[in-house]
Amino acid sequence: MKNIYTLIAVIVLVVTAYGCSSESRDGREKHEQEIEEDNMVAYPGRTFNYKQKFNDLQQKQHAVASRIGLKRPPKNRADAAQMRKQLVEVKTCDNYVVDELTHSVPYLIPSAKRELDAIGNEWADILRRNNLPHYRFRVTSILRTQEDIRQLQRSGNINSVTQSCHCYGTTFDLAYFGYDKVTRTRDYMHEDNLKLVLGQVLLNHQRAAKIYVKYEAKQSCFHVTVRE
């Protein structure tokens, strides 16, 4: 009988300990999920007219894309795969997220990939220097094949032209909404203010003759082509 009582006491202790551990774990998870973003902070940069500043037209961008990019636009995904030695893969990283691409593939020529990374690094530097929470911007379109272009045109995309810069691996689109917050703090930034940070970075690189930029309001993105 004494052994039975001892066994019961051990079981009670084990169950109690597990229950406390479980509650503690659940409590931590609940606390992590309940971080409220109630303190809006802002980048103190000066606003500007995006449409006016970023008006590098298709003809200008296509001229440089066809000169420094792939020798010819890939016909389809299989054709693009044959050109992989000339390209570098673009992956989600600390500073940007590559969207689930439906009408393009995540590859750029090396100089365009370096420029995208440089934009990401400067973006992160501005946020850090101003003691702002870290976010990632989104890359929404990269290398398109001729087949991708035709599908976009059939879907009614008015910005999808047959002679697209996206077909040369020199060009990428950056969304100016839907940023991904990385730091888990109560501080947050309004999307319009994050757009200003990204716009400032692109303006710096445009002024340095590194990129052409077109502001595409209907597609909600900055259309960027590397210049060298």
pLDDT at 5 exceeding the cut of 90: no
b/e burial code for range 150-160 (CB count within 10 A of at least 16 → b): eebeeeeeeeb
pLDDT digits (tens, 9 = 90+) for 20-68: 333 334 444 434 445 788 899 999 999 999 999 999 999 999 999 999 9
pLDDT digits (tens, 9 = 90+) for 72-88: 999 999 999 999 999 99
pLDDT at 25: 41
Mean pLDDT, the chain, whole residue set: 86
Question: What percent of the chain has pLDDT above 70?
Answer: 81
Quick check: 17 and 166 in contact, CB under 8 A?
Answer: no
pLDDT at 157: 55
* Bridge-based pairing state of the strands 221-226 and 171-175: antiparallel
Quick check: 43 and 126 in contact, CB under 8 A?
Answer: yes
Angle between helices 110-129 and 191-207 (to 10 degrees): 130
| 222: β partners | 174, 215
Q: How confident is the model at residue 153 (pLDDT cuts 50, 70, 90)?
A: confident
Quick check: 199 and 139 in contact, CB under 8 A?
Answer: no
> Is the pLDDT higher at 4 or at 54?
54
pLDDT at 36: 83
Mean pLDDT of 112-135: 98
| 135: β partners | 181
Size of the chain, expressed as the number of residues it contains: 228
pLDDT at 10 exceeding the cut of 70: no
pLDDT at 144 exceeding the cut of 90: yes
User: Hey, what are 199's tokens?
Assistant: 């716009």
pLDDT at 152: 81
Q: How confident is the model at residue 104 (pLDDT cuts 50, 70, 90)?
A: very high
